[in-house]
Amino acid sequence: MNGRQPSECPENFSGGARCMDEMCGPVAGLGSDPVVAGSGGVVGGEAACSMWRVGLLLVTLCATLTLAQFPRQCVTPEGLLSGQCCPSPAGVAGDECGSSTGRGQCVVIAADNRRHGPQYPYAGRDDREKWPLRFFNRTCQCNGNFSGYNCGQCRHGLTGPNCDQRISVVRRNIMQMSAAEKQAFVNALDQAKTTVHPDLVICTRRYQEVFGPDGNTPQFENVTIYNYFVWSHYYSVSKTYLGSGQTSFGGVDFSHEGPGFVTWHRFHLIQLERDMQNMLGDSTFALPYWNFAIGGSECDICTDELLGARSSFDMSSISPNSVFSQWRVICESVEDYDTFGTICNSTETSPIRRNPAGNVARPMVQKLPEPQDVLDCLELNAFDTPPYYSTSSESFRNTIEGYSAPQGMYDPVVRSLHNLAHLFLNGTGGQTHLSPNDPIFVLLHTFTDAIFDEWLSRHQPGEVVYPEENAPIGHNRNFNMVPFWPPVTNAEMFVAATENLGYSYEVQWPTRAYTVSEIITIGVVAAVLLVAVLGGVIACAVRARSYRSAEALEPLLGETFRCYSEDDRRLDKSQSVV
C-alpha cells in the first residue's frame, strides 16, 4: 500500500487527543497487513489474558476513530461473535454509544422485513441480505443531533461540541472554479487516494470465511480514503456467490436498477465528502460537480488542469501530465471474485483507462446527454413506477439513472443521462464494478445528485412516494444501504439536501426550449394578435382618414355657416340698430 500513515486522530472522534503512531500502528495495522485486531493466535493463561486486556485497551483507544463499514474495534473475533457493535465515543467502559453523557444507546438493529422484488430468488445465500444482520445485530442509536457509529459525531449539516451549530457547504460546477480551486480539488483527490483511512477497514472475505483460516483472524484490511469509496461501490454491485463450480448470480445490485440508486449514491458521496473534510481539516470542503449534459463528443473536464487529458501516446490512457495517470485501480479481478467467491481488497493493479466518445462499436454512447434531457426528466412526476427496476417507465429514477429515454419511456436500447455519461467515458468509468476508480465518477454523481435534489425541490414528494416494498433487494424504503455502517436507510437520504444534509448545489438549470406544438401554438396566437393589431391599426387609419376628410370639408361648411351667422348678426345688428 502506498498510503501515508495519519499521525493525529480527527478531533471530533477523540476530543483532540493525539493518537500516537506507535500506539495505533501495530494494533490498528495501518500498513499493508490485514487488520487482526484482538487476534494473536492461541496464547495461554494469565499472560494471554493481560496481553488481551492491553490489546483491548489499545484497540479501544485507537478505534474510537473508526467510521466504516464496521468500526475497527468491532471486528475482533469476540466483537463479531457477540453481534454487538456499540463503542463508547470516549473509549470508556460502560459508556456504550456515549450513554453516560446522553449521546445514545445500544439497540437492536431494525432490518427491512418487507418483500422485495422477484429479481433475487434466493434467501440466506448472500451476506448482504437484511444488511447488516449477517455481521451485527446491535448498533448505536444516537439522540438528538448526535450521530455516527458511537454517537461521537454530529448529524449532517451540524457541528460544534453539542452539534447545535448549522453548517452547510456549496457544491459548485468545476468548470466555474478558479485555477487555484481546481488545483486544490485535484490535490485533495490525490491525497485521498494515498491516505490510509484513519477510521476504516474493509472486509475481504464472505462471512463464511471472515474468521480466517485459523478461525481467529478476522479478515479485514486497511484501505485508503478514496479506495474505500471504490470498494463500497464494488461491494454493493458484486454478484452473489452460490458455491464452488456454480455460476455466481448477477441479478442483484444493491445500488443500481432500483429506487435506491439515487439514495445510495447520495450517501456514498456524503461519506467521501466528510472523509475528505476530515482529511483536509477543512469543514467547508465541498465536492464539485461536472455538468455532463452539454451534448457533443467533447469531455470538457478531461484536461490536465482537471481530471486528466487524453494521452498522446495511447487513446485510452490519461496524459502523463496529469496526476491521475499515476493512479492504479482496485477491484479489477472480477472474474476471480465471482469464480472463487473472494472479495475485492485494497490491492492496486492497472492504470485508469478512459477513451471519451471513443466507443466506435456503439455510436449511441459517443455523445453526452443534452441540456434538454435534464429538463425533460425533471418534469416527470412519479419518483418511481412498478416494477421499480431498470425496466420502469415514466419513472424519474429510471430516467435519471438512464435506462429510459429522457422523457420517461423505457426502451431497452436507450442509454441516457447518468448511464450515458458513464458509457461515454468508455473505459474504467464505464464498468460498474470498477467505475469509481476513475475520479470522474465523483463529479458525474454529484451532478446526478444535483438533478435528484432539484427534482425533490420541484415536486416536494414526501417519503410516501418511495416504495416500501417490492423493489429489488436493497432498494425498499427501509432497507439499510449496503455496505454502510452505522445502518442508514434509503428513506434517510430521500430528503432535501439543503435543509437536511448540510449541502446545496449552485446550478444554473438550462432554460427550456419550446416543443413543436408549443411553437405552433405560439405562432397561431402571435398571428391572431398580429391580425387583430393590424386590423385595429387599419380601422383607426381609415377612421382617422375619414375624420381628416370631414375636417377638410369643414372650412367650407364653416364659412357657409359663418356667412349665415354673420349675415344673421349683421342682420341682427341692423335690426337692433334699426
Ligand X SMILES: O=C1C=c2cc(C(=O)O)[nH]c2=CC1=O
What is the C-alpha to C-alpha distance for residues 430 and 432, in angstroms, rounded to an integer?
6
What is the C-alpha to C-alpha distance for residues 313 and 317, in angstroms, rounded to an integer?
8
Which part of the chain contacts ligand X (CB under 6 A), choosing from 305-313, 381-389, 416-424, 462-470? 416-424
Largest separation between any pair of C-alpha atoms in the chain: 158
Q: Residue 355 interacts with ligand X (CB under 6 A)?
A: no
Q: Closest CB to ligand X among 362 and 512?
A: 362
Of residues 246 through 265, those in contact with ligand X by CB under 6 A are 256
E strands in 65-164: 104-108, 138-142, 146-147, 153-154, 158-159
For the bound state, the minimum distance from the C-beta of residue 448 to ligand X, rounded and expressed in Å, comes to: 10
Q: Residue 232 interacts with ligand X (CB under 6 A)?
A: no
For the bound state, the minimum distance from the C-beta of residue 423 to ligand X, rounded and expressed in Å, comes to: 5
Q: Residue 430 interacts with ligand X (CB under 6 A)?
A: yes
For the bound state, the minimum distance from the C-beta of residue 421 to ligand X, rounded and expressed in Å, comes to: 9
Q: Residue 72 interacts with ligand X (CB under 6 A)?
A: no
Q: Residue 398 interacts with ligand X (CB under 6 A)?
A: no
Task: State which residue has the least CB distance to ligand X.
Answer: 435
Find the binder of ligand X among 130, 274, 415, 475 (CB under 6 A). Answer: 415
Q: Residue 140 interacts with ligand X (CB under 6 A)?
A: no
For the bound state, the minimum distance from the C-beta of residue 486 to ligand X, rounded and expressed in Å, comes to: 25
Q: Closest CB to ligand X among 19 and 330?
A: 330
Q: Closest CB to ligand X among 186 and 440?
A: 440
What is the C-alpha to C-alpha distance for residues 506 and 492, in angstroms, rounded to an integer?
23
Cell of 513: 426550449
Q: Residue 422 interacts with ligand X (CB under 6 A)?
A: yes
What is the C-alpha to C-alpha distance for residues 103 and 108, in angstroms, rounded to an integer?
17
What is the C-alpha to C-alpha distance for residues 198 and 36, in angstroms, rounded to an integer?
16
- Residue 337's contacts (CB-CB under 8 Å, 6 or more residues apart) are 238, 239, 343, 344
What is the C-alpha to C-alpha distance for residues 392 and 414, in angstroms, rounded to an integer?
13
CB 261 within 8 Å of CB 401? yes
Find the binder of ligand X among 423, 440, 443, 450 (CB under 6 A). Answer: 423
Q: Residue 299 interacts with ligand X (CB under 6 A)?
A: no
Q: Which of 184, 209, 267, 202 is nearest to 29 (CA)?
A: 202
Which part of the chain contacts ligand X (CB under 6 A), choosing from 219-227, 289-297, 422-430, 453-461? 422-430
Which part of the chain contacts ligand X (CB under 6 A), choosing from 26-34, 67-75, 297-305, 414-422? 414-422
What is the C-alpha to C-alpha distance for residues 550 and 547, in angstroms, rounded to an integer?
5
E strand or H helix that includes residue 78:
helix 77-82
Binding footprint of ligand X on the chain (CB under 6 A): 256, 415, 419, 422-423, 430-432, 435
